[in-house]
Copies of this chain bind each other. A is one copy, B any other.
Amino acid sequence: MAGKDGCVLGIDVGGTSIKAGLMTVGGEILDTTKIPTGEIVSDAAYQEITNGLSTLVASAGYTGSDVVALGLDVPGPVDDQGRVGFFANIELDPDGLRSALLEAFPASRLAFVNDANAAALGELWKGSAKGIGSFALVTLGTGVGGGIVIGGKLVSGAFGAGGEIGHITVKPEGEERACGCGRHGCLEQYASAKGLVWLYRQECRRQGVEGVKVEHDTDTLSVFAALKAGDECAETAVIKMCEYLGYALAQLSVIIDPAVFLIGGGVAGAFDAFSNKLAASFRAHCLSTSSAARILPCSLGNKAGMYGAAYAGLQEAGLA
């Protein structure tokens, strides 16, 4: 039976599909759905999405008018006014989608939020950062993303680049490879899945050994398995990754000085294998006054974005 407070939708917008969660305003997930998408720029495409969401809402006994808030996390910049910037990897007209959604769910307020920022809000609402007003989240995945929360509010930035932690420069000199952003020596080049695999292969070359078989450019599982088995090159690669990441956390520390750093993303599946090395690196680089900052793993996995998007919608509606 549908609750009287209405419901909220948290929507992950990906490259080929949308994943949506229907929740109570208290954040209990009632049901989820996945809607395949192509380019999201036409009335037909918006209609498919609103139809899929309406079915989800109806399945829990709600009507479209019971949706009080909805949030969409998107793989691109969203600034502090909620304006959506350019997307590198998906075709999406945010204004068209917004209009269609507000027509289908007329009682709702809507928020767009960057995907890594959504993960931070999700962890704040339901995960490792519950009760922690100020923290920085770093997601170590294919790339390195991040989200910063201060006083319970996301720092989106004037141009949507708030929390772009993957683009902190950690090696200002001597990096010949360019980062995806066009700059050189970004954290993402060393602490993403791709970065760690690159560090491993580089160390194998340097030592003139073959190393373990790495399946693909982001196969960190093989690197961490090798680490566990005592592979010296894997040890060096993980130490280097932690050296760069700890250095970046120390830069965050002299700027926003959070009580907690949260580590998420696929690479954080191996958190226990590198957390001590990371903590040591952070403490070697930070101001002594901030050395008690804690480094914790995220706890919501790939549900963080869905929770965070819903929470952003609730904040927009004045309900959180």
B-binding residues in A (CB < 8 A): 77, 80, 85, 134, 148, 150-151, 153, 155-165, 167-173, 181-183, 247, 250-259, 285, 287-290, 292-293
How many copies of the chain does the oligomer comprise? 2
Cβ 8 A contact of A257, one of B160, B181, B252: B160
Cβ 8 A contact of A157, one of B163, B285, B290: B290
User: Which residues of chain B are near A165, meaning CB under 8 Å?
Assistant: 254-255
The chain B residue sitting closest to A291, CB to CB, is: B159
User: Which residues of chain B are near A163, meaning CB under 8 Å?
Assistant: 255
Give the 10 A-B residue pairs with the shortest CB-CB distance, closest first. A157-B257, A158-B259, A161-B257, A164-B254, A162-B257, A167-B254, A159-B290, A161-B290, A159-B289, A161-B289
User: Which residues of chain B are near A172, meaning CB under 8 Å?
Assistant: 170-172, 247
Cβ 8 A contact of A251, one of B159, B169, B173, B253: B169
The chain B residue sitting closest to A173, CB to CB, is: B173
Given contacts A150-B150, A164-B255, A172-B247, 7 further A-B contacts (CB under 8 A): A157-B290, A159-B290, A161-B287, A162-B257, A251-B255, A255-B255, A256-B256
User: Which residues of chain B are near A160, meaning CB under 8 Å?
Assistant: 257, 289
- Cβ-defined contact, B257 with A164, below 8 A: yes
Cβ 8 A contact of A161, one of B155, B164, B253, B285: B253
User: Which residues of chain B are near A285, meaning CB under 8 Å?
Assistant: 169, 183
Report how far A164 CA is from B290 CA in the complex, Å: 11
Given contacts A169-B247, A172-B247, A247-B172, contact A148 B289 (CB under 8 A): no
Q: What are 15 residue pairs bridging A and B, where the CB atoms are less than 8 Å apart in the complex?
A: A148-B255, A148-B256, A150-B155, A151-B153, A157-B257, A158-B258, A159-B293, A160-B289, A163-B255, A167-B287, A169-B247, A181-B288, A183-B287, A252-B255, A255-B255
**Chain B: minimal CB distance from A304 (Å):** 20
The chain B residue sitting closest to A292, CB to CB, is: B159
Report how far A85 CA is from B247 CA in the complex, Å: 24
Given contacts A80-B134, A150-B150, contact A258 B157 (CB under 8 A): yes
Report how far A265 CA is from B167 CA in the complex, Å: 29
**Chain B: minimal CB distance from A45 (Å):** 26
